[in-house]
Amino acid sequence: MNDGKTFRETLREERDKLRQMNFREKREHIWAYYKLPIFFTLILIFVGGSIINALVNPPKEDYLYIAWLAPGVHPAFLLELGERLHPIVYDPERQRVSVSSYTVTEDPQMNAALQARFAAMVRMASIDVILTNREGIEELTEMGWIRPVCDVLRVYPAPLYDRLVPYPTGAYYIAISLSGSALLEEVGISTADLYLSIMANAERIEPIAQALEEMLR
pLDDT tens, position by position, for the chain (217 residues)? 445 566 566 667 766 776 777 777 767 766 776 677 777 777 877 777 666 655 566 578 889 999 999 887 888 999 999 999 998 888 888 889 999 999 888 888 888 998 899 889 888 889 999 999 999 998 888 888 888 888 777 655 556 778 888 887 777 888 999 999 999 999 999 999 999 999 999 988 889 888 888 888 7
pTM of the predicted model as reported, rounded to 2 decimal places: 0.71
What pLDDT sits at residue 77?
Answer: 93
What pLDDT sits at residue 84?
Answer: 93
What pLDDT sits at residue 195?
Answer: 94
Paired with 197 in beta bridges are: 130
Is 146 within 8 Å of 165 (Cβ atoms)? no
What pLDDT sits at residue 1?
Answer: 46
How far from the centroid of its chain's Cα atoms is residue 46's Cα? 23
What pLDDT sits at residue 151?
Answer: 79
Helices 23-56/7-19 angle, 10° precision: 120
What pLDDT sits at residue 173?
Answer: 86
What pLDDT sits at residue 183?
Answer: 93
Question: How far is 63 from 67, CA to CA, in rounded Å?
Answer: 14
What pLDDT sits at residue 98?
Answer: 92
Residues of the chain with CATH 3.40.190.10: 61-215
Q: Indicate the CATH number of 61-215 among 3.40.640.10, 3.40.50.1970, 3.30.470.20, 3.40.190.10.
A: 3.40.190.10
What pLDDT sits at residue 52?
Answer: 67
Q: Please provide the size of the chain in residues.
A: 217
